[in-house]
Amino acid sequence: MTHSQRLMGLILALTLACAGPGCGPEPGPEPEPGPGPESGARAAASGESGWYRDLSRRKLHATEADDHYLSPLQLLSSRDGHTLYVACEGTDEILLVDLPGRRVTGRIKVGRQPFGLLLSDAGDELYVSHRWDDDVGIIDLRSREMVARIPVGEDPHGLAPGSAEDEIYVVNLGTDDVSIVDMDNRREVRRLGAGNAPFGIAPVADGRMFVSSQYSNPAAFRSPPVLELTVIDGEAGIVRERRPLPGTVIGQGIAADPRGRFVVTALELPKNLLPQTQVYQGWMVTFALAFSEVVAGGRTALLPIDEPQLYFADPYDVAFAADGGRLFVTSSGVDVVTVIDVEAAAAVLQMRAGRIGLDDEGIRRLARDLGASSAYVEARIPTPANPKALAADGSRLYVACRLADQILVIDTQALTVIDSIDLGGPEQMTRLRQGARLFHFASISFQQQMSCSTCHPENNVDGLVYDIAVDGGMGRNLVDNLSLRGLAETAPFKWTGKNPNLQRQEGPRAAQLFFRTHGFDADQNEAIVAYIESIPQRPNRHRRAAGLTPEQRHGKQMFERQRDNLGRYIPVGNRCVTCHPQPFGTDRRRHDIGSRAAHDRNGVFDTPHLLNVYERPPFLHDGRCWSLEEIWTKHNPADTHGATNDMNKGQLNALIEYIKTF
């Protein structure tokens, strides 16, 4: 053998040793966690917990004005009707609006991302949930200062009074549960399991509470989603029912009928099992209200709010008029408040003594009947940009117009707009604000069926798998939806990695595959890209300022290991750390990890980032896994997606706990 032949043989051996996916140079050690800068108002927010570093491009795109948009999201009226409390997620504060004078009279700095609002029994304290700080703040309304903060579950949203005095219920979207909090002693006393990403809560007269959910409970692969409506017995402090709502997702706003017959939830009916091309036939997504009987074991019927060729995308909040005769719904994707004649809706449902008279087949047909809305939709009232929360008070309805920094005032009898309260945000329209409006506006799509936010609520995911009928035809391109949080530096995009940048992703691709219209023009495209690139990942609840836990450190060793439990060498390309290096958890390359299924054209996919990966199940390119564990216990039989088959349960659990810290 010649010298050249020996050299070629050595090169071939080295090549084969690195033949696994993502072959490349050995990554360096992971940087130690440390505090990182945040931008604008976020940097000054109190109560920061854990290690956090904003990995978005917000500093590149933001102007000074972008730190001062208020973005009102939630509302609460005082008992005397004189004051409206407004939770502003843009500036992390509560505004006090004098309703007779129609002006802002106070501002109270609170924690990060304020959301739910609730008054104490005495009316002297205001409670506010902080989504980014995982706690509930107590505001003394006399001094207008926050006097205490009570830790609860992750990502707390809705608040409601409990059956016992000085007790409140807190809906925790991030931990899929509801905290019972003793406000007298200022501590959480119990948690109750709820649905997947619980969102809103509505008490009824007998002390029970109904809790909506944003995401489907785990469902079989390629089967319809199923939301859960959780029913809590407030007297006993236990869950009494878990009502399934088949074929629905994104249940958010929820309200109880003042007449005691039903609770109503705003939600979405996706048709993701059909090819995306069916948007032309109105078969991709519709929007409805779930009318659920209050009685124990009650049934639920879905009443569409769309019309045959016009859709009212992204219903968010619902509120009854004081007498229960009308129901108001914010259609946040089309800047409209939809008005429902409640008695007309009850007639369609054939309600008798609090019971739905329609049989099961009638309920099934009604859910898909876009012509039904003409029987009970009384009016559509245009609003400024992105209407969200509602607060009904006597003959007035207040609407938080999030991306206009305004409160709209509607006369609930005449159904007319009588005033608009300017909250004092910046007057100029920045590039990021323009992008936010475009992202949340459905009129870009055919018959205004969907906005970007429809599939990415709260800039995250809807938890669905879509049939993107392109490059292989119907049923040959099943893709799991991905979160937009923190993805700015993780190009290329799309599971195949075909789109090198977001300009391509949100331009021709979005127009062709999703909106079925001309899409965004060049200026709009740049604005929406700037907005998406500026979306930060949320604080990671699994990584604290003190560093990794012992289990997470063990998992890091498994993530970076070079030999398995039997001492066998693991090729560089088959180590977790090769394809998923810090800080983003992606090498930004495409690989074949052996996950190809019968519905895939090929087995080469882009490496997804791991930032807060625990927030966005299901997993793998086609969403076949409802947990991280399934990726390696069910779908890695040949060790082609990392060497994991030799791991014992403790090692695999540790690996997963470390992955959650990205």
Q: What's the pLDDT tens digit per position in 189-227?
A: 999 999 999 999 999 999 999 999 999 999 999 999 999
CB burial readout 315-329, b (16+ within 10 A) else e:
bbbbbbbeeeebbbb
SS3 645: coil
pLDDT for the residue numbered 194: 98
Confidence of residue 97 (pLDDT cuts 50, 70, 90): very high
Residues 19-44 have a mean pLDDT of: 35
CA 180 – CA 192 distance, rounded (Å): 8
Between 32 and 425, the more confident residue is 425
Comparing CA positions, the residue from 193, 213, 199 lying closest to residue 171 is: 199
pLDDT for the residue numbered 517: 78
Bridge partner list, 590: 606
630-652 tens-digit pLDDT: 999 999 999 999 999 999 999 99
The percent of residues above 70 in pLDDT, for the chain, comes to 91
pLDDT for the residue numbered 13: 38
Phi/psi for 213 (5° steps) reads -135, 145
583-630 tens-digit pLDDT: 999 999 999 999 999 888 889 999 999 999 999 899 999 999 999 999
Residues 268-276 have a mean pLDDT of: 88
Cβ distance 435 to 451 under 8 Å? Answer: no
Cβ distance 112 to 42 under 8 Å? Answer: yes
CA 195 – CA 175 distance, rounded (Å): 10
The number of folded domains in the chain is: 1
CA 201 – CA 160 distance, rounded (Å): 7
pLDDT for the residue numbered 505: 82
CA 380 – CA 598 distance, rounded (Å): 46
Is 424 part of a structural domain of the chain? no
Q: pLDDT at residue 475 above 80?
A: no
Domain that holds residue 26: 21-33+540-659
- Cα dihedral 499, 503, 508, 513, rounded to 10, equals 60
pLDDT for the residue numbered 44: 33
Is 607 part of a structural domain of the chain? yes
Residue 560: CATH number of its domain: 1.10.760.10
Q: ∠ CA 215-216-217 to the nearest 5 degrees?
A: 120
Is 618 part of a structural domain of the chain? yes
344-389 tens-digit pLDDT: 999 999 999 999 999 999 999 999 999 999 999 999 999 999 999 9
Could you tell me the two tokens for 331?
């259609």
Is 654 part of a structural domain of the chain? yes
Is 605 part of a structural domain of the chain? yes
Is 418 part of a structural domain of the chain? no
Sign of CA dihedral 532, 538, 542, 545: positive
SS3 217: coil
294-303 tens-digit pLDDT: 999 999 999 9
Is 455 part of a structural domain of the chain? no
Bridge partner list, 190: 180
Cβ distance 22 to 579 under 8 Å? Answer: yes
Cβ distance 304 to 287 under 8 Å? Answer: yes
The pTM score is 0.90
Q: pLDDT at residue 471 above 80?
A: no
Is 643 part of a structural domain of the chain? yes
